Structure 1
Amino acid sequence: TNPSPETSIVVLAGFTLFALLFLALGVAMTVSGVRLVFSGKASRQGLERPDIERRGLGTTPLRPPGRLARWSRTPSGQVLLSSKRMYLIGAIVVGLFALFWNAVVFLALRDTPLRSGLFGVIWLLLGLPFVVVGVGLLAVTVYLLLGALNPIVEIELPRESIRPGETLEIRWRLRGGAGRIATLGIWLEGNEVAVHAVGTDSERESRLFHRATLVERSALGPRPDGRAQLQVPAGAMHSFRSPHNEIAWTIDVHGEAPRWVDLRAVFPIRVEAEPA
Structure 2
Amino acid sequence: MNPNPNDTAAGFVALPSAGALTVEEANQTARSSVTRVIIPVGLAGVGKTTLLTELYGKFLQGPFAGHQYAWSRTLHGFEQRSHHARTTSGRATPETLRTPLADRDVFLHLRLAPEEGAAPARDLLIADWPGEEFRAMRDDVQTARAHPFLYRADHVAFLVDGGRFGTQALRQEARHDTDMLIQSILDAGVDGAVKSVIYTKWDAALNGDGADQLEDFVEAFEGEIRRKHEARAGELQFIRTAARPESGSEVCRGKNLDEVLRTWLRSARRPLEVPASTGVQTTREFDRFRSSSPQRAD
TM-score (normalizing by structure 1): 0.30
Greater CA radius of gyration, 1 or 2?
1
Q: Which has the higher contact order (CA 8 A, sep 6+)?
A: 1
Higher helix share: 2
Higher strand share: 1
